[in-house]
Amino acid sequence: MGKTGKWIIGTLVALVGLLILLTLSLPFLIDPNSYKDLIARKVQEQIGRQVSIPGDIGLKVSPLGLKTVFRLGEVRLSSTPKFQDTELLSSRLVEIQLALWPLIRSKELQMNTIRLEGVSVNLVRGEDGSCNWNDGPTVAKEKPQYPAQQPEAKPASPIAAIDIGGVVIKDLNLSFVDKQAGTSAKVNNFNLTAGRIRPGSPIPLQSDFALLLDASGQQPLTARINAQTSLTFFPDQGKLSVQGFSGNARIAGGSLPVPEVALALTTDLDLDLRQEKADIKKLTLQKDDIQAEAVLSISGWAAPKMAGTLRIPAFSPRAQAAAWGVTLPLANPESLGKLAADLEFTYDPAALTISRLQFSLDDTSVTGTAAASNLQKQPLYDLALKINQIDLDRYAATSPGAPPAQATAGTAPAPPPQRTGEEPLLPVALLRGLNFNADLAIDSLKSGKVNLKNLKLKAGGKEGVITISPLAAGLYDGTISVNGEIDARTDTPRIHLAKSTRGIQLGPLFRDLSGKEEVTGRADINADLTTRGLTRSELTRNSNGTMNLAVADGRIAKLQVLDTIRTANALLGAASGASAVASTQSSTDGQGTTFTRLSASGVLQNGVFRNDDLMAESQLMRIAGKGSVDLVSERIDYLLTITLAREIDRYGQAGLANLTETPIPYRIRGTFDHIEQSAALEEIVKSQAKKVLVKELEKRLGGEKPAGTQKEGGGAEDLIQKGLKGLFGK
């Protein structure tokens, strides 16, 4: 090595030694506390806040590695002048330990421990919207215009490596009070401990804090939260990995139905900050035996897109309600015994798609798909579900309890709520805003003791028009099919229904609806109806259309044709010449009226059904008739013509054989709850009496005449006929 080289090395060593000596002498040459006033003045000039540093500012340098310890004691920073009574920020201790030699030698940032203690931040928004951390909008200074320049490449980071021994934060408190909204949020006693921080190496983290949320007029919500995890970051790749995150929270107050709720959350997470991607490998949220498991993939921060799965293992909602002290208002003690869900979905700001949906509640299982598109404008919902069974009776509410206790003396009981009118049956505003397509298949549906089998429903809604095409189901050994449309574009919706049933057994249907088989038979019914209105009475009053029905092998319990006629006949026998009309009230005590077939068709106009072609037949009689059913006033008025079969006495119907030759007028009228039936036998009496008198007079006047002589000269028969007309009016 030449003299020049030795001289250069010696010079460098001397410079380094001088630098080290200067660094070591800094704490003795400079007193940081003497700069407090300068710091306060500069802060005032820059941000318009008052800063005070009553604590000491410490600076120490050790020879080994030029380790420097910077220590800042108590510091206070004021709010804007409008919030002079609120301190914006204060801290009790800030301590940083920095190794200067690695920074000088290789641009490696080495820090032993960063400590923050007793930091408090108080944020306030006033009733006028002003904030204690911001003086309000400022007018931007006009910047001089320069010619456009090509963007320069970003310079390399001046720090080659980072190695921090740890971070300790104790007793950090953050408060935000919004006087404008009447709410506040506080984070109290926030503590954080982080292990050694180096790129590419796991960093152990542990934290705990208390949370308070307070809304005006509501009970505050409090939570105590603690969490721990391991974090690894790769600054050169812009990636972050969270492994084994585990958090627990105990929440109380607010609108919770129980004094306290304990939640547990675990997850693993990978973040790619440059590509704006996040992968949540497994997220588990648990409360007692309720658990939700999710796997998510997220891309894009400004307009995030998500894809993932969500699974809720089976649990008992009823058991959870009991644990929370909530009594379910359901009559069946086995309802809500088991619930589970499993779904796969994708999401972006414009659409949510559930490509696989599995849901079960008690004995009901649901599979299918669901989607919501055009979310940012007018959402369109698509639903396709297959359901094994639904028993709505299982979820019937409990019957009302005992009446409230009598009011004490001097206290009047509260009057029952007064209803101003009928409640609308159709939610017009909701229907008007629905855009949807639905395709449902239900193997079995039970509601109010009515059982539907193989129910299929296809429905859609667009711009206030709801269509059903069709609703089809098996019903009591038959089928029912309904096509319809609800037009809710106006304030008074219009409805069109086209319904047909085939082979429905009316007996079981009436038994399940009313408890009695008042009507039996196998029915085919067709109806094409229109109506408009909101309430039940409006829809009934404005109903119009056509209907026809055919019933085979049936019985109407309240139609007491033979009993009514027999009663009238008995009255005639007891008092000849007296009133020849017998009347009975509707009853199911008699045998009713059976028929092998019954048919009718008619027109429904303004809620009144009119029918002129009622026909019915049985072995005992034939029935023809016409009449009306007023659905508005709930009244019925029918006039039937009954013709008894000649062989009626062969079927055990004694006492009616003498009535088989003359049609019997039969009237049915009254309200739905009180129907009267009457048989008018006056014409039968006149006809029979007339025949008897003619025969008797013919005998007395000479008997029957030989053939060919009855028309000659009129004779006695003409005199008899004229006399009978005067007697009977015919």
DSSP string, 436-498: EEEEEEEEEEEETTEEEEEEEEEEEEETTEEEEEEEEEEETTEEEEEEEEEE-SSSS-EEEEE
What pLDDT, on a 0 to 100 scale, did the predictor assign at position 423?
83
Longest Cα pair distance anywhere in the chain, in angstroms? 181
Residues 648-679 have pLDDT tens digits of 655 555 556 566 767 889 999 999 888 898 88
Strands 277-287 and 290-299, sheet pairing: antiparallel
Q: Is pLDDT above 90 for 354?
A: yes
Q: Which pLDDT tens digit goes with each residue over 260-278?
A: 889 999 999 999 999 999 9
Least confident segment among 263-277, 448-462, 544-558, 658-672: 658-672
Residue 293 has pLDDT above 60, yes or no: yes
- Residue 717, C-beta contacts closer than 8 angstroms, at least 6 positions apart: 698, 710
More confident residue, 245 or 112: 245
Pairwise CA distance, residues 481 & 471, whole Å? 6
- Is pLDDT above 80 for 710? no
Answer yes or no: are the C-beta atoms of 496 and 529 closer than 8 Å: yes
Q: Is the pLDDT reported for residue 503 higher than 90? A: yes
pLDDT of residue 577: 42
The pair of three-digit structure tokens given for residue 537, joined into one six-digit string: 């009475």
Residue carrying structure tokens 């740890």:
166
The pLDDT of residue 232: 94
- How much is the average pLDDT of 212-216? 87
Of the two residues 13 and 314, the one the predictor is more confident about is 314
Name the pTM for this structure. Answer: 0.72
Residue 395 and residue 330 in contact, taking contact as beta carbons nearer than 8 Å: yes
Average pLDDT over residues 508-518: 85
Counting beta carbons within 10 angstroms of the beta carbon of residue 480, is it exposed (0 to 12), middle (13 to 18) or buried (19 or more)? buried
Question: For 236-250, 404-418, 532-546, which range has the lowest pLDDT when averaged over its residues?
Answer: 404-418
pLDDT of 201 higher than 80: yes
Q: Which two tokens stand for residue 672?
A: 């739905």
Q: Which residues contact 552 (CB under 8 A, 6 or more apart)?
A: 521, 522, 596, 597, 598
Q: Tell me the pLDDT of the chain averaged across its residues.
A: 81
Give residue 708's pLDDT band: very low, low, confident or very high (50, 70, 90). Answer: very low
pLDDT attached to residue 596? 94
Among candidates 503, 510, 543, which has minimal Cα distance to 525? 503
In which band, very low, low, confident or very high, does the pLDDT at 635 lie, cut at 50, 70 and 90? very high
Model confidence at 169, in pLDDT bands (50, 70, 90)? very high
Q: What one-character-per-residue DSSP string does 25-44 give?
A: HHHHH--GGGGHHHHHHHHH
| Joined tokens for residue 442 | 């239900």
Least confident of 43-52, 188-197, 398-407, 457-466: 398-407
Phi, psi (rounded to 5 degrees) for 376 = -80, -10
Most confident range (mean pLDDT) of 158-167, 419-428, 491-500 is: 491-500
Residue scoring higher pLDDT (701 or 342): 342
Q: What is the structure's pLDDT at 654?
A: 52
Q: Give, in order, the Cα–Cα distances in Å from 292 to each of 58, 262, 309.
A: 51, 14, 10
Mean pLDDT over residues 476-485, rounded? 94
Two tokens at 235? 């600054």
DSSP letter assigned to residue 412 = P
Can you read off the two tokens belonging to residue 308?
């993932």
Mean pLDDT (whole number) for 452-470: 93
Weakest-pLDDT range from 118-122, 318-322, 325-329, 436-440: 325-329
The H-or-E segment that residue 125 falls in is strand 120-125
DSSP classification of residue 648: G
Share of the chain above pLDDT 90, in %: 45
- For residues 375-402, give the mean pLDDT: 87
> What is the rounded CA–CA span in Å between residue 274 and residue 252?
39
Three-state secondary-structure class, residue 335: coil
- Of the pLDDT bands very low, low, confident and very high (cuts 50, 70, 90), residue 686 is low
Which residue in 464, 453, 457 sits closest to 438, CA to CA?
A: 457
| pLDDT grade for 77, boundaries at 50, 70 and 90 | confident
Per-residue pLDDT, 164: 83
pLDDT value of position 672? 86
Please tell me the distance from the alpha carbon of residue 244 to that of residue 206, in angstroms, as a whole number: 12
User: Rounded to whole angstroms, how far apart are CA atoms 472 and 457?
Assistant: 6
Whether the per-residue pLDDT at 569 is higher than 50: the answer is yes
Tens-place pLDDT, residues 6-58: 554 544 544 545 445 545 555 555 566 776 777 777 777 777 778 888 877 77
**pLDDT score at 83:** 85
Highest mean pLDDT among 216-220, 329-333, 522-526: 522-526
Burial category of 193 from C-beta neighbours within 10 Å (exposed 0-12, middle 13-18, buried 19 and up)? middle
Q: Scanning the structure block, which residue is given the tokens 């002290």?
A: 325
583-621 residue pLDDT tens: 555 444 557 889 999 999 999 999 999 999 999 998 888
Q: Which of 42-51, 437-446, 568-577 has the lowest mean pLDDT?
A: 568-577
Most confident of the ranges 8-12, 66-70, 719-723: 66-70
The answer, yes or no, to whether residue 711 has pLDDT greater than 60, is no
Asked if residue 428 has pLDDT above 80, the reply is yes
